[in-house]
Each structure stands twice: as structure tokens, then as C-alpha cells.
A = this chain, B = another copy of it.
Amino acid sequence: MAPAPTLARGSVGSVETRYVDLPQPVRLDCGRELHPVRVAYETYGALSPGKDNAILVCHALSGDAHAAGFSKSSSSSARDGFGAEERDGSAGKGLGWWDGMIGPGKAFDTDRFFVVCTNLLGGCGGTTGPSSLDPVTGQPYGSSFPVITVADMVRTERAFLNVLGIERLAAVAGGSLGGMQALEWAILFPDQVDAVVSIASTHALHPQGVAWNSIARDAIMRDPAWQGGHYYGTGRAPDAGMGVARMVGHITYLSAPALHDRFGRRLQFADDIRYTLTEPEFEVESYLRHQADSFVRRFDANTYLYTSRALTYFDLSRQHGGGSLTRALEGVSARTLLIAFSSDWLYPPSASQEIEEALSTVGKPVELHVIEAPYGHDCFLLEEARQTPIIRQFLAEERPS
């Protein structure tokens, strides 16, 4: 057997976020139409002459269009989790949130694929969202922005790809909320998606996840600086509440053992406790506040609200199957790759198993890989080395090199 070739695992290099204004209004599940809609996006690799090598990458709650490479304009990281945070520290700021997965020789190999990532509808990274101007009032939408769904995000992505002249996707991929979008694509546009890669995701968030998201949103909306959602231009923003929301989210993205290994019960000051209510006493307390502060600087609270609402609404059985997941998925024609992580208690492997079973029941090609890894939900951002061969193999089955 010949030795395996050494893969060039390089960077896509310096990148820039670009913008497209959609020519048509986006029709939303709530019945409203949104117009104008601008979409922020980045691309990596080259579109083939036949335009048949495009992969759409969809981001999670706190992400943006900057998925890979080094952005001079982006000084903040859209990554979740302490592993990612560490990596930023060593690799410099401005690195895309899935840089380890997208690039030459990587899981989403830009030597072969044209990878596109957009900021989702309702976002705060350049795509139209609650901080955008409402053309009717000339003021930012704030909480008069329509309540959107994952399907609305997907329809926006579909309309955006039309502008690029891309009719079919070789794959649509994402983790968490991004994985929800990938599944929604396969249902809404079954003839336009060859493959789905849904990682650390679900067909419907479980009730405890609904609860965490509800608490996070309440923390923002109970902050008087939220001002009913119309805080833009007032000089005040619900930073305090969004900090709490972020801390809640952050703990749900990690596993209890990971927190134990990383922080234990180590005190912030090695000598002893200092009998203070207001200052951090444990390292984990200080870490959480740091996470809250850095998130508040880069993210818009209303986008958090709308995106959290959309991901809790997401429920393929209710939306498409009259209560049956099998029925919801029976129109899918894409091949599906599901990856879940053993320690992920927010998007547990059981949900991916349910998707796998439902797809198998209706005779659709599907494979599920449950990776034993300790970091919880954040694994989808951290466990690149173990996801890469699975994804490369899956994508190679359709497009052999």
C-alpha cells in the first residue's frame, strides 16, 4: 500500500466580508415580507465552471459570515467556548470561527470546493437584522423586526445563492443552529442539495434547552436598558442582561467534567477566600465574567433574542411532518451526515440518533458518527481533527478526487 499523501492543511489566507442586496423581498413564515434584505458573506476557494462545487456553511447563534481565513476587518471572534478562545489567543485575532475546518486539505477542502458562508437573517454581522434601518420609519427595526424562523434563514440563503448564480449545493453544512439550517435546506429545497452535514444539532431542541434559551432571552429583556427593544441610538444597551445570557449559554456549551478539568474549585487568589459578594472568588467566576464582557462588545442583544427564538421554534416534526419526524423527512433526497458528541448535553447524541432512524425508515442514505469527546457542545468547534476524516470521506463519496 502506498503511503497516504501528506495533505497540505493551509489557510484560505486573507479574506473580506462582502455584501449582496437581494432583488426580491423575503417572504417570512410569520406572514410578513422583508425588504430590502442585505446579506453579508464570505467565499473560500473557486467556483467551478459548472457551478457544481458549492458548499454552504451555516453558522450558529453567535457566529457570522467570517468562517475561515484571516480578516483584517474583523477584530473579534465569533467562536464559542474556551478551547476556541484559547486557540484565538495563539493564532491571532480575526481568524474565522471554523478556520480549522475550511481550507486547502481541510474538512471542507477549498482545493475542491467553493465554500460560502453568510451571516444569517436577523444577524448583526452585516446581514439585515433588528439593528438595520426599517425603510418605513427610517429608524432601526429594534423589536419591530419580524420574528423569524430557521426556514426564513434558509429562504434568505436560497435567494442569496441565486444572486451568485448557484442553483445546486454540493453540500450544506453547519453545527448547532447551523446544522438546523442544513436539515431545513434538505426539506425545503430537496432537489437543490446533494449532501447535508449536520453537526451537534437536532431536529428540535429538548425542553431543557428551550428553558435555557428562555432564561437567556428573559435576562436581556428584563434589563431596563433593553427599552422594549428600541435601544439603538440611546447610548444605552442591555449589556448587563446579555452578559448574563451569555454566561448561561456558555455553561450549557461545556460539559461539567470539562469545567472540572479546566478550573476545578481553584480560587481566584491562591491564598484564601476573601469574603466578598461582588468580586470573583473562584477562577470559573472570573472566566465567566470575561466571557460575558467580550461577547457584549461584539454582539447585538436583539440579534441574540431573534436567533434564540428561531432555534427554539425549530421543530421538523411540527413544521413539516404533522408531528412525525419520519414524515417530515420523507421528501429529502440529499445524503445526510450526522456528527454528535458524547458529552454534548445541549444537543445530545440521542437527537441525532432520532434523525438517523427517521431517515433510515424512509430509505434515505444517512450516517451518524458519535464522537467520544469531553468538551460538550463546543466540540463542534474544537474537535476538528476527529471530524475532518469523517467529513472528507463523506464528501469524497460523491465527488471522488
Of the stretches A14-22, A57-65, A155-163, A210-218, the one at the interface is: A210-218
- The distance in angstroms between the C-alpha atoms of A251 and B309, with both chains bound, is 19
Count contacts on A: residues with CB < 8 A to the other chain.
Answer: 58
Across the interface, A214 reaches (CB within 8 A) one of B217, B282, B312, namely B282
Contact A207 B247 (CB under 8 A): no
- Residues from chain B with a CB closer than 8 A to the CB of A244 are 215, 218-219, 222, 244
A218 x B289 contact (CB < 8 A): yes
Q: A218-B243, A282-B210 are in contact. Are A147 and B277 (CB under 8 A)?
A: yes
Q: CB within 8 Å of B: which residues of A?
A: 29-30, 143, 146-147, 204-208, 210-212, 214-215, 217-219, 221-224, 229, 240-241, 243-244, 247-248, 251, 256, 259-260, 262-265, 273, 275-278, 280-282, 284-285, 288-289, 292, 305-306, 309, 312-313, 315, 318, 345
Question: In the assembly, what is the distance between CA of A229 and CA of B276, in Å?
Answer: 13
- Would you mind naming 15 contact pairs between A and B with Cβ atoms under 8 Å apart? A30-B275, A147-B277, A205-B265, A206-B265, A207-B259, A208-B256, A208-B260, A211-B251, A212-B251, A214-B284, A218-B243, A219-B219, A224-B240, A265-B318, A273-B313
**Contacts A30-B275, A284-B211 given; does A224 touch B222 at CB 8 Å:** no
A155 shortest CB reach to chain B, Å: 15
Of the residues B205, B214, B247, B260, contact of A288 by C-beta under 8 Å: B214
Contact B275 A147 (CB under 8 A): yes
Residues of chain B with a CB closer than 8 A to A280's CB: 214
Task: Determine the chain B residues whose CB is within 8 A of the CB of A240 once the complex forms.
Answer: 222-224
| Number of copies of this kind of chain in the complex | 2
Q: Is the CB of B277 within 8 A of A309?
A: yes
The 8 Å CB contact of A265, one of B204, B243, B285, B292, is B204
**Whole-angstrom distance from the CB of A384 to the nearest CB of chain B?**
25
Please give the distance in Å from A247's CB to the nearest CB on chain B.
5
Of chain B, the residue at the smallest CB distance from A251 is: B211
List the B side residues contacting A219 at CB < 8 Å: 219, 244
A260 and B205 CA atoms in complex are apart in Å by 11
- Residues of B near A243 (CB, < 8 A) are 218, 222
The residues of B that contact A265 with a CB separation of less than 8 Å are: 204-207, 210, 315, 318
Q: A30-B275, A206-B260 are in contact. List 11 more A-B contacts (CB 8 A).
A: A204-B265, A206-B256, A210-B285, A212-B251, A214-B284, A221-B277, A221-B278, A222-B223, A223-B240, A224-B240, A281-B309
